[in-house]
Structure 1
């Protein structure tokens, strides 16, 4: 792998499910600006301006590779899964990767089938929501879905602000459904063995009260190239709960 200086590097940032590329700009532009030549905030497939391309999921990773020959990668939740997934499809491209609350992949066939069924039910529900694109449209059914999604125990006491909701309401429900079918956890392979073989330096962050991903962090600790850190007083969305702590941990590792 070619090592580059901080001034010559780019970093790509990938957001979580139902967010878009603007979700992390406020918290990460200032901390990362001193470390990188360019910061790319990218819409994940089915979100914002990135449609889901039918066929091979690696088409999204192929598109990311055109950004630069080598770059660093940051991802939260779904974006973290995609970051880890890309390390296995394009080895040698990513120098450093930071992921927050990211799944390494389901290990059993039965659990994978159950998750695929769950993702499909969620996709069908999203497809049933009426939606009108354009500024000023309320899309109350999608708003109600987002409010319900946010109340999942995984997110602890997180409260979505009006700004959070406006960003999420930019996403079309049919594209979110397509994202689940092509890039959902049920579709992602178990990455554990492949990640053992990558030369990328990994940094895995998880929230103190996120019991599900505390167990995932234990899996990450088994990777010889991975450093793991817990974020105090945070649930699954550690960026929302403790943005300064996350930004400090990320920049310290990347520096």
Structure 2
């Protein structure tokens, strides 16, 4: 689906029991809503899974004329409107990496929509203007690599230490094959519009949270473990849960534990005790 007047028209796949509460799943960069299908299948009939294709991914496209300065916030607000109109009733929220950043913004700005949330391997963005400007320059360079040599970019992307545990996982080749089927032009545009440098910092908004939230991080993902501790210290009604032996893609590396913890959190009354 394309965009109208610069506002995303989201392609969404729905699975599970339509009579049950919905879980909104937001995928990471290079992915699509279908990435969450193996997780949704393990939820049985307890929930309805709402698998969203974010702009530039899957069936949600991007126009070249989208406004970089405002597109992240426009995406968050448009998704909130879509969820409110199409999926009334109690909603849970889960997002990974890029989808985790968008999920966190969605949670903080539209708290009335959600019962609980799980944020996976994600951050509230960059706190300083100069950090964001530098990240925009870096992401522009990465976007050019995507446009010039997409397969070479994919190979280099997964050579990052961030994905070392994923590369050693039996599912890596399947993940890599799926990524290479994506549209390079759309992914490059998405990075320029929704990259971390284009995201308004959410660090100062964390203190306003009133929705129970868990931050899931792989114990080997050192950078995001530190970010997770910082977020928990600032965010009311939140806790950090580490996944033993996992890196950035913990929901793939240990899918069984991910689903177990997700269901445990969504199924029980939340307490605000901090955990590590």
Q: Which residue of 1 aligns with 2:152?
A: 144
Give 1:87 deviation, angstroms: 1.7
Q: Is the 8 A contact 2:206 2:236 kept in 1?
A: no
Distance in 2 of aligned mates of 1:201 and 1:103? 17
CA distance in 1, matches of 2:140, 2:86: 32
Could you tell me whether the CA contact under 8 Å between 1:14 and 1:21 is conserved in 2?
Answer: yes
**Once superposed, what is the RMSD of the aligned Cα atoms?**
1.9
TM-score normalised by L of structure 1: 0.85
User: Any gaps of 5 or more consecutive residues in structure 1?
Assistant: 1-5, 130-141
Query: Higher relative CO (CA 8 A, sep ≥ 6), structure 1 or 2?
Result: 1
* Equivalent in the alignment of 1:231: 243
Q: Is the 8 A contact 1:20 1:167 kept in 2?
A: no
Please give the secondary structure, in 1, of the residue aligned with 2:262. Answer: helix
**C-alpha distance in 2, partners of 1:105/1:184?**
9
State the partner residue of 2:21: 9
2:12 alignment partner in structure 1:
none
Displaced runs of 4+ in structure 1, greater than 2 A? 30-35, 55-61, 63-67, 88-91, 159-163
**Paired residues of 1:75 and 1:83 also in contact (CA < 8 A):** yes
- The TM-score normalised by the length of structure 2 is 0.79
Deviation at 1:202, TM superposition (A): 0.7
1:155 corresponds to which of 163, 166, 171: 163
Deviation of 1:165 after TM superposition, in Å, equals 2.6
- Aligned residue in 1 for 2:207: 196
Distance 1:79 1:218 in 2: 19
Q: In the alignment, which of 111, 114, 119 is matched to residue 99 of structure 1?
A: 119
Query: Is residue 185 from structure 1 mapped to residue 196 from structure 2 by the alignment?
Result: yes
- The alignment covers a number of residue pairs equal to 236
